[in-house]
């Protein structure tokens, strides 16, 4: 079975890849380079020039060629590799009539625990949405930013003491609203310096967060390891990592307890399985990252099904509790009691609706960052 066509599909704010074969079987994947989908789409086209005419089943071979050819990678490139890799696994599963996890050693679990997104520009919004997700049966909530998801156009400034005190009080209120039956996955969005991250991480220990995600920008394993060494709560990071070697470096420095690989940016399901094995050797757990579409979720669930160190799955729902991008796909179950059934149909177990690119026109993301009051910029 040979690859006959590789096509990027821009729909809404998402980038998908569709791969067709001469046997009539097709597969779909998703790129996680969400800020630069246009560049990632160009990379999908270029890799397609290499792939057309090649055997669709040689996934590991193609993965190595795409990773190693011409030496350069980065998010737009690895997002394209990820989309193609996922689509090739989808094809292989469909060809053999089994879900992808059956090709990766078989299922360890049949359903995956979820944490639901809770976002808000005020603490009152966060508390109200947390209570709504708890009422829907979720046992964990995340994307939970105690520094708040405020308007990016509003210049930012807080004195250190006020910045820490307000965010610590916000975590206290979130724990009060959650009780002990709902875990808090605290998300910082790379907002802090190492001294701030240590101060804040120590202060929120009494509220027992499940993990403390991305306190720093993801560039220095040594800085993240120093933070982890100075705080009593577990660190989660990795959603921006584009290489399994970056995960290995941070694990070797004891800088992370929960790894957050995004299978749509780190190199697809092939890379996800390798990263999970690395983590297993360090007794670290996997929390697959997915702020994307149901396709990214389905790919993450195929990985979650077959690795022993899966912890919990990110579920990118909106304020109304509905999965983002859900009208674009068929085949994915709805959550129940805080868990979701892992798709059992061949391949990924879900499909894009017909004519998706016309029904959901692309939405561009302009380059923007929140300004600091002094004229510099703020990570948010």
User: Is position 36 annotated as part of the catalytic site?
Assistant: no
Alpha carbon 75 to its chain's center: 13
Strands 329-330 and 351-352, sheet pairing: antiparallel
Q: Where do we find the tokens 């990263």?
A: 275
DSSP, collapsed to helix, strand or coil, labels residue 229 as helix
The answer to whether 40 touches 55, Cβ cutoff 8 Å, is no
Of 189, 208, 230, 372, which residue is the catalytic one?
Answer: 189
Q: Where do we find the tokens 């190595």?
A: 64
Quote the crossing angle between the two packed helices 268-281 and 244-252, to the nearest 10°: 10
Of 36, 62, 143, 289, which residue is the catalytic one?
Answer: 289
The answer to whether 144 touches 174, Cβ cutoff 8 Å, is yes
How many Cα atoms within 13 Å fall on the side-chain side of residue 190?
A: 12
The answer to whether 8 touches 45, Cβ cutoff 8 Å, is yes
Q: Where do we find the tokens 């067709």?
A: 20
User: Is position 189 annotated as part of the catalytic site?
Assistant: yes
Q: Which residue in 327, 336, 332, 356 sits closest to 345, CA to CA?
A: 332
Rounded to 5 degrees, φ, ψ at 23 are -90, 0
Give catalytic residue positions: 189, 289
């Amino acid at each position: 079975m040979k690859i006959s066509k590789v096509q990027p599909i821009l729909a809404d704010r998402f980038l998908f890849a569709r791969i067709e074969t001469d046997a009539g079987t097709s597969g779909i994947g998703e790129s996680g380079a969400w800020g630069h989908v246009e560049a990632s789409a160009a990379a999908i086209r270029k890799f397609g020039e290499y792939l057309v005419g090649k055997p669709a089943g040689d996934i590991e071979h193609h993965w190595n060629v795409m990773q190693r050819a011409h030496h350069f990678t980065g998010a737009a490139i690895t997002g394209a590799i990820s989309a193609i890799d996922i689509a090739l696994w989808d094809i292989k599963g469909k060809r053999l009539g089994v879900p992808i996890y059956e090709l990766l050693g078989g299922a360890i679990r049949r359903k995956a625990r979820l944490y639901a997104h809770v976002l808000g520009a005020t603490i009152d919004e966060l508390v109200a949405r947390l209570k709504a997700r708890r009422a829907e049966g979720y046992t964990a909530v995340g994307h939970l930013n105690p520094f708040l998801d405020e308007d990016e156009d509003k210049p930012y400034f807080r004195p250190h003491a006020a910045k820490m005190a307000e965010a610590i009080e916000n975590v206290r209120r979130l724990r009060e609203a959650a009780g002990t039956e709902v875990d808090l996955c605290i998300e910082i969005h790379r907002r802090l310096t190492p001294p701030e991250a240590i101060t804040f991480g120590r202060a929120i220990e009494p509220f027992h967060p499940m993990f403390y995600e991305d306190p720093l920008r993801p560039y220095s394993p040594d800085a993240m390891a120093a933070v982890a060494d100075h705080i009593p709560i577990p660190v989660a990071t990795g959603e921006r990592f584009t290489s399994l070697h970056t995960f290995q470096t941070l694990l070797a420095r004891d800088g992370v307890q929960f790894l957050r690989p995004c299978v749509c940016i780190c190199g697809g399901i092939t890379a996800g399985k390798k990263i999970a094995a690395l983590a297993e050797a360090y007794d670290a757990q996997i929390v697959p990252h997915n702020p994307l579409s149901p396709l990214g979720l389905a790919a993450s669930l195929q990985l979650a099904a077959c690795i022993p160190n899966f912890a919990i799955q990110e579920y990118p729902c909106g304020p109304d509790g509905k999965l983002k991008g859900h009208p674009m796909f068929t085949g994915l179950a709805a959550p129940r009691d805080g868990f979701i059934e892992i798709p059992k149909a061949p391949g990924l177990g879900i499909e894009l609706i017909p004519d998706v690119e016309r029904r959901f026109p692309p939405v561009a993301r302009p380059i923007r960052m929140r300004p600091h009051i002094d004229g510099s910029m703020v990570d948010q």
